[in-house]
Structure 1
Amino acid sequence: MPQYPKTDTASETSTGEVKQRVVAIVGFLLFVELSSGFLQGYYTPLFGQLVDHWEVTDSTITWFVTVQTLAAGVSVPVLSKLGDIYGHRRILRIAVISVAVGAALVALSPNFGLAMVGRVLCGPLAVWLPLEIAIVHSRLTQDSARKAIGMLVASITIGAVLGSVAAGLSSSIPSLTTVLLIPVVILVLCVIAVFIAVPESTDRANPKIDGLGFLGLAAFMLLLLWGLNQGSAKGFANAGTVAILVGAVVVFLVWVWWEKRAEAPAVDLALVTRSTLWPAYLISFVLGMVMLGTQTVLITFLASDPETLGYGFGLAPGTLSLVTIAAMLPATIASIFFARLAKRFGLLRVLLFGLSLGLIGQLALIAFNANLPIMACGLIVGSFGQGLLLGALPALIAEEAPRDATGIATGIYNSLKTLGGAVAGSVFGIVLAAFVIPEQGASSIGGYLTVWSICASAFLIGLLVLPILKRNRPVTTVIPVQRTV
């Protein structure tokens, strides 16, 4: 695969041409990620109707989310690596088609079993962002790529809000099949956009495929996420749960042994563990813990009756939805503007700001959880910090990874973030259960304080490892010479 020489932006391209290039490359990708967020936010408000539609129980419907998460855990590292080998747009096309077919199958399924097949096909939804980051990183200058990554991350959040609102508005439609077909229409437009308007990336990895490495990685992610799910449902002392998690550890150790000896490993462990990347990956795990692992915890706390339990604010479901949306807004704004801060202060300082604000937000929840206005301010501050991390982490990882490994590098970021949320969700469930008040059937305030203390400690760990993160020499702002695609 030929290497594309780097050229100085000023000598090759005018400012106007650069902006046109950015719009042409990023515009349709923003629509794709907006659709990704829309799909992620669309189904949750419909769970009650889905239970009746497929005649399943409330506990069974949780597999609607679990199956997609398991499929994502397997597909993200595999497809992102295949993008490095065969082209990120090519794999993005496959991933978008898979999700569109999966969503259509969910909408048209007469039974829950067939719907689960559709949810498996929706698993590659999580690899869209890593593949898109690889495309923009390959096609744009460093500053333009950072701005594009920030906008892509923000569009997911905006799409999730729009999806949730759309689900609420469409829930009055008599036919649930019609309601479920709405996101399918949007996904069909995504397929058209990816095939017609999205360019291909310019760098390729070694074409040799480490088949056993891919299978081992997929098996490890599947066993680990399944074990965590079983632990949440049946407890981590359950024999079945222990067997699954032990199996995950064994598979991981064998996989590491194999990858160190493979000629073209699925994941270059020497790359992942070097000081330019592993602290960023650890912070990615921390971010997933707090962002994905505490959503239910926060909602439960805010909805709790203070007269009965001595904490909470007894907020109604409608108010809770507004609080959730309001908490997303600062993260959306921060992810859009992180590139400007990075240009002025550097990416490492942006990570420092993000971790510090995240820590302050958790400390505010611990100290001021009886005061709703101050607690809301803490949520806003923490959300802004998380938004900075959402933008800065994948940008830094893409810049520090070799040009032919951008897909797998950012795919690992996405997987670790998801894994952090899964681990935190299981651990926090156990923590709250340990503080349950028998007479009330709900956790005491001590459970929530413990959860927020864990999150604060996680951000503190991120701050402690940040100085270890040593960046390579600054990359010159360049545009690669493009070939005809």
Structure 2
Amino acid sequence: MSLTRNAESEDLRLMPKSSRWPTVILLAVSGMLSSMQFTLIVPSLPSFSEDLGASAEDASWLVTITLLAGAVGTPVLSRMADMYGRRRLLLVTLGLLVAGSLTAALGPGFGWVLAGRALQGCASSIVPIGISLLRDMMPAGRAGTAIAVMSATVGLGSATGLLLSGVLGSSGLGTAGIFVFSAIGGVLALGGVLLLVRDAGSYPGGRFDMLGALGLSVVLASALFVISRSSWWGTNPLPLAVISGLGVLTACLWVPLQLRSARAVIDLRTAFRRPVLLTNIATFFATAGMFANHLLTAHEVQAPAGIGSGLGLSPVEAGLVMIPASLTMAGLSPVAGMLLNRIDARKVLALGALVMSLAFVFRLFTHGSLAVIVVGAALVGVGTALSFAAMPALVMGYSPAQDAAAANGINSLIRTFSGAATSAVFAFLLSSFAVSAGGSQFLTQSGLSLAFGGVAASCLLASVLALLLPASPRGTER
């Protein structure tokens, strides 16, 4: 039986502008809050280790479990949004964020905090669900701008999380203050969604493919675990080998099951169509540029003077260095949206990825001053704003309208894997081109140069792949 909107709901595209844009801002802020969850605790991990009596390796699971939960939850919750209502599942994901934040803030031990972080990870589906709602809500000529603003929250939230971590962690509540902040933000977003967001259209409902969701969870969790713990191959190869084998075996059983299912969690036939597949591959390589910008910039400015181009800044000061890049992403997102309304989204993605590639080439050959690092990071932010605006527009243009949230969920999943892979490559470089100082390891100048060159090549590949896409997809039209 189909689930339809309430009788009093109208076509959201007929909403007056005065009602429409507050909703866009609310959804964008909600998306930023969800993307913060992956970086809010990263600079404060040593404090969590001390407060919870956990080893440094155990404390790192507070990041890994969030990535795992996000990887599993995003495609599942996004698919459920297409089936049972996007507003309804948006409320569910915000509820999970609040519940996870409260569990982590009030829980008596490490296990409770770990469980809370897992629930927080499910909030990553806010962005793809929100983008799908925006496409329903906005007229064809304005949808590109709204989607670009929502997409920019991924990069903006990640950078803001790094900045706020030290401030919140040093509050009177200690590390629990980080989770209290997330809980308050989630409650405010929940209230805003209840007041402002309405659903449009009808949803098919029906029986959800629980077996398919379970199989997908095992495949994604095993793959992301192996990527995020790739350093274990040298010390604990057996667990990784077993988990890899489990993931491969499950995938071999899961793929035929999904191809036969009438209500598959992931429509593999659509996902492997050439335009959708190329878009997601380009997304993977372009997203590496955004994550590398965060990692390498923070690493470069915190390295002691005399090591590479290190400036010896504190974690809080390193977060401040990323503010220009964050402001650039936020400020250019409406411009990116206007470009989407006028030219093919594939050209916007190609341009954004090319700008990122050139920015990393600039960083490869310029070193030694704070001004140069800030300018280089901001230039990457320019390319990120353009690229991230185009990605969801392309995915929705090449996918059926009724699967918009699920298609965006897969694209968001690709971004998550890109972030995990970028972190793994960074860890590999750190193990191969490192010098110790003050009990920590930092990349040598040759290691840093290799990283900049590799990311530049990754973004250039994304630009080329974007140009290979078919022209004029439906994009933000409906």
Do they fold alike, i.e. is TM over 0.5?
yes
Moved more, 128-137 or 53-62: 53-62
The answer to whether the 8 Å contact 2:212/2:264 transfers is yes
Name the CA shift for 1:475/1:420 in 2 (closer, same or farther; >3 Å): closer
Name the CA shift for 1:381/1:343 in 2 (closer, same or farther; >3 Å): same
Q: Counterpart in 2 of 1:264?
A: 263
Q: Counterpart in 1 of 2:49?
A: 51
**How many correspondences in the alignment?**
469
The 5 A counterparts of 1:69-84 are 69-84=67-82
The 5 A counterparts of 1:140-155 are 140-155=138-153
The C-alpha deviation readout for 1:141-182, integer Å capped at 9, x for no partner, is 233222212222344555556655555445454343566423
Task: Give the partner amino acid of 1:465.
Answer: L
Q: Kindly state the Cα deviation for residue 2 of structure 1 after the two structures are TM-superposed.
A: 8.3
Q: Counterpart in 2 of 1:366?
A: 364
Q: Counterpart in 1 of 2:331?
A: 333
Percent same amino acid among aligned pairs? 23
Q: Counterpart in 2 of 1:202?
A: 201
Moved more, 192-201 or 418-427: 192-201
Once residues 215 and 453 of structure 1 are traced to their aligned partners in structure 2, the CA distance between those partners, rounded to angstroms, is: 39
- Residue 388 of structure 1 pairs with residue 354 of structure 2: no
Moved more, 453-462 or 102-111: 453-462
Task: Give the partner amino acid of 1:193.
Answer: G
The answer to whether the 8 Å contact 1:276/1:472 transfers is no
The answer to whether the 8 Å contact 2:286/2:462 transfers is no
Q: Counterpart in 1 of 2:7?
A: none
Moved more, 445-454 or 218-227: 445-454
Task: Give the partner amino acid of 2:74.
Answer: V
- Residue 403 of structure 1 pairs with residue 430 of structure 2: no
Task: Give the partner amino acid of 1:54.
Answer: L
The C-alpha deviation readout for 1:307-351, integer Å capped at 9, x for no partner, is 3x3543333444322212222222222223211122333322211
Name the CA shift for 1:417/1:38 in 2 (closer, same or farther; >3 Å): closer
The C-alpha deviation readout for 1:427-448, integer Å capped at 9, x for no partner, is 2211331233589964432222
Once residues 99 and 256 of structure 2 are traced to their aligned partners in structure 1, the CA distance between those partners, rounded to angstroms, is: 37
Moved more, 156-165 or 344-353: 156-165
Q: Counterpart in 2 of 1:131?
A: 129
The 5 A counterparts of 1:414-429 are 414-429=412-427
Q: Kindly state the Cα deviation for residue 104 of structure 1 after the two structures are TM-superposed.
A: 0.5
The answer to whether the 8 Å contact 1:276/1:471 transfers is no
Q: Counterpart in 1 of 2:224?
A: 225
Q: Counterpart in 2 of 1:456?
A: 456
Name the CA shift for 1:40/1:356 in 2 (closer, same or farther; >3 Å): same
Q: Counterpart in 2 of 1:481?
A: none
SS at match of 1:138: helix
Moved more, 406-415 or 271-280: 271-280
Q: Counterpart in 1 of 2:188?
A: 189
Q: Kindly state the Cα deviation for residue 266 of structure 1 after the two structures are TM-superposed.
A: 1.8
Q: Kindly state the Cα deviation for residue 454 of structure 1 after the two structures are TM-superposed.
A: 2.0
Q: Which runs of 5+ in 2 are unaligned?
A: 5-9
- Residue 214 of structure 1 pairs with residue 213 of structure 2: yes
Name the CA shift for 1:457/1:42 in 2 (closer, same or farther; >3 Å): closer
- Residue 279 of structure 1 pairs with residue 240 of structure 2: no
Moved more, 163-172 or 178-187: 163-172
Q: Counterpart in 2 of 1:352?
A: 350
Moved more, 244-253 or 103-112: 244-253
**Residue 93 (structure 2) aligned to one of 88, 92, 95:** 95
Q: Which runs of 5+ in 1 are unaligned?
A: 5-11, 479-485
Q: Counterpart in 2 of 1:413?
A: 411
Q: Kindly state the Cα deviation for residue 249 of structure 1 after the two structures are TM-superposed.
A: 2.7
Name the CA shift for 1:305/1:392 in 2 (closer, same or farther; >3 Å): same
Task: Give the partner amino acid of 2:132.
Answer: A
Name the CA shift for 1:476/1:99 in 2 (closer, same or farther; >3 Å): closer
Q: Counterpart in 2 of 1:8?
A: none
Name the CA shift for 1:159/1:73 in 2 (closer, same or farther; >3 Å): closer
